[in-house]
Structure 1
Amino acid sequence: MDLSGTSAADANDTRPEVIKAAARQLLVKSGAGGLSLEAVAGDGGLRVADVEAVFPHRDDLLTALVIDAYNESGAAMEQADQIARDAHASAGARLLAVARALRQWSFDNPGQFTLIYGSPVPGYHAPQDTVPPASRTPAVLAGIVRSALEAGELAPPRRAVPGPPLLLPEAVELFGGVPEAPFSDIIERGIVLWSNLIGLLVFQVFSRTHDSVRDESAFFDFAIAVAAESIGLDVPSGENTD
């Protein structure tokens, strides 16, 4: 790491980003399982002692990478949603816009996508610090569904969730409370939509559909529209959200 022309304070300010940049490159090459402070130092041309001074343990570095990945992907969705809202787009168009934004981020950053949505890293347990960043994606989706509900853009479901509510209090709080019937299970349906989105991205980023789908981008839009039907939201075919 070349620190020439910088003060010690400047070096300390920039070193975390330099280390994380090297770690993100290593994620692409070796995956999270191959991430170690020694490997990051060697791959980035850094001294192990310099890496350890900022991230004493591998898990400290992993946590920083996880938080960055959630924040960056969440910010991409939030920006796309704001653009769609400024254009007075329908809730369905907003949903497609944010889904496309997350898809683009995922393809642009496959190592980071795999870190947060791939297989768990052996021996790593994400701390509480990762929860708020991880909540940004479902928060964007919840905001769109809430807007659709308030604007009367949702069709009533044909089947209600049986039995008692299936939700934790945190999920209800994120949405802003349980709506009245016939939309009292909309939060559960929103979680299904969220899981469908992530599962679809896993299939596309890891090339699980390349041998069966002719146009991956068009199929993605179609799949989002189908998933949106489960919450009674219409995503117009061929909707232009750019």
Structure 2
Amino acid sequence: MNVSATQSSDDLALTAVVKDAARRQLAQHGASGLSLDAVARGGGLDVSAVEALFPHRDDLLTALVVDAYDASGAAMEQADRAAADAGAPAGARLLAVARALRGWSFANPSEFTLIYGSPVPGYHAPQDTVPPASRTPAVLAGILRSALEGGELTPPRRTLPGPSLLRPEALALFGGAPPAPFSDIVERGIALWSSLIGLLIFQVFSRTHDSVRDEAAYFDQAVAVTAETVGLVVPLGEGDR
């Protein structure tokens, strides 16, 4: 259930209390352990007040999912604007937004787990979550489009074989398929996006701490290596972190 923009200030304040209590429940018990009764107790509220805003647990979960996608997407967008305004090349912009997403993920591990961890049993995300979820790939697509138009991409050594496997909406997000030699840049961009999320899953869930001495530095290196698959150079100069 979406929170209406016409709600009173009291309703908005109550919604904030409910969401805060729900996030504490996420941190303690995970999304599968979330319940309206527990949220009401955690927020010092009557369960009927919670149900008036979110009739079902899934309504509350959806609101939390939307908030998480919006917050993480906003962090990336802000970082990209700052880098672009400073005249940074596309590779530096990519590193800036990746770092911003990493910073948000470590600051909000429960919310990160909600949107990128294991699916919640019995929960099926509604269409309302699609636009917020699209903010992350939209930032990456914008950077790649800018790099393409600015001549900052190196042509791939080989194009991906076979016909395009893309859905029309993926091409639309990028602004259409570019001509050769960058005709498969959208497919490569999806690989970049999935690699970024996979790297964050490894780091947030402590899968790399036993393997590398400096996880933040390794993150930057991994972003740079992955960016090479789309023909983009990420600067990793001394003191760049």
TM-score, normalised with respect to structure 2: 0.95
Alignment match, 1:134: 133
Cα offsets for 1:126-177 (capped at 9, x unmatched) = 0001000000000000000000001111000112111100100000000000
Determine if contact 1:74/1:133 at 8 Å carries over to the other structure: yes
> How large is the Cα RMSD of the aligned pairs?
1.4
Determine if contact 1:93/1:241 at 8 Å carries over to the other structure: no
Alignment match, 1:94: 93
Cα offsets for 1:6-50 (capped at 9, x unmatched) = xx9543231111100110111111110100101111222211111
Hey, which bits of structure 1, 4+ residues long, moved more than 6 A? 239-242
Alignment match, 2:185: 186
Alignment match, 1:28: 27
- How many residue pairs align between the two structures? 235
AA of the residue aligned to 2:173 = L
Alignment match, 1:231: 230
SS in 2 for 1:223: helix
Deviates more, 1:159-168 or 1:189-198: 159-168
SS in 1 for 2:230: coil
Structure 2 vs 1, CA of residues 74 and 9 (structure 1 numbering), >3 Å: closer, same or farther? Answer: closer
Q: How does 1:91-170 map to 2 (within 5 A)?
A: 91-170=90-169
Give the Cα–Cα distance (whole angstroms) in 2 for the partners of residues 142 and 23 of structure 1.
32
Deviates more, 1:16-25 or 1:91-100: 16-25
Alignment match, 2:200: 201
Structure 2 vs 1, CA of residues 239 and 170 (structure 1 numbering), >3 Å: closer, same or farther? Answer: farther
Give the Cα–Cα distance (whole angstroms) in 2 for the partners of residues 109 and 94 of structure 1.
22
1:215 and 2:214 aligned: yes
AA of the residue aligned to 1:230 = T
Deviates more, 1:192-201 or 1:35-44: 35-44
SS in 2 for 1:120: coil
